[in-house]
A = this chain, B = another copy of it.
Amino acid sequence: MAYDLYYWPMIPGRGEYPRLVLEAAGVAYRDVARLPESEGGGIAAMQAFIGGKTGHLPPFAPPFLVDGDLVVSQAAEICILVGERHGLAPKGEAERLFARSIALTTADLVAEAHDVHHPLGVGLYYEDQTDAARERALGFREERLPKFLGWYERILTRNPAGSGYLVGDAMSYADLGVFQTMAGLRYAFPRRMKTLAPDYPRIAALVERVAAAPRIAAYLASDRRMAFNEDGIFRHYPELDAD
């Protein structure tokens, strides 16, 4: 089985969430839009898919994953599918469903982190909405971030398995999602995240443990791992950060 993952090639963005699950699962996949056009890759291949020109059920937007006739879009849903298929999801039903809820809640946090720099609209440049972004960033740093991080810390603390993972006794796609989100938040809001760090020791330990997992460590050291940048979801604009 070989998966085709489609996402914008210039940013980690939401594509990085399924990419991490594929890497951690050790399954073969093609990162189609990052391949040369001569190999059937590039953005044009992705657009053809979204435009419905391939005969598949057309996804709304990247990222999406193709496996033969199957198409799955929405980053969280791809993570759930790959995680549940390839041993990166809890086995018990209650834990399996809770992992799904965690992934979707993380997707909400990611959307809010994006809206910090685009509060007035995705179709406008950041430079045309900096005042609004400053205001939105304040509430995000002071209220929303602690609310989300507090929840992760709480479920890590209360996980009946006491494993140091969010749910169940082993690493799941839910943990990978929090890992990537923490990386993004630390990139975008380094001052605020440093201030908050002492309150969330279990999240910090989780991030370290995920980074040290052999397949993830190998991936992070590879040239497949992209750096964050100011075209992506998590952007470092110093004027939006504070202690």
* Chain A interface (Cβ < 8 Å from any Cβ of B): 52, 57-61, 64, 69-74, 76-77, 81, 93-95, 97-98, 100-101, 104-105, 108, 111, 115, 119-124, 132, 135-136, 138-140, 143-144, 148, 151, 154-155, 158, 167
Contacts and interface: CB of A to CB of B under 8 A. Distances in A.
Contact of A97 (B70, B124, B151, B167): B70
A5 B137 CA distance: 33
* Residue from A104, A121, A132, A167 having most chain B Cβ neighbours under 10 A: A121
Nearest to A105: B60
B121 A135 contact: yes
Contacts of A136: 119-121
B104 A76 contact: yes
A58 B139 contact: no
Contacts of A115: 115, 119
B94 A57 contact: yes
Contacts of A105: 60-61, 73-74
Contacts of A69: 94
A109 to B, nearest CB: 9
28 contacts: A57-B95, A57-B98, A57-B155, A58-B154, A59-B101, A60-B105, A70-B94, A70-B97, A71-B94, A71-B98, A71-B101, A72-B98, A74-B101, A74-B104, A76-B104, A77-B97, A77-B100, A81-B97, A108-B111, A115-B119, A119-B136, A120-B135, A120-B136, A121-B135, A121-B139, A122-B144, A124-B139, A132-B132
Contacts of A151: 58, 60
* Residue from A59, A97, A151, A158 having most chain B Cβ neighbours under 10 A: A97
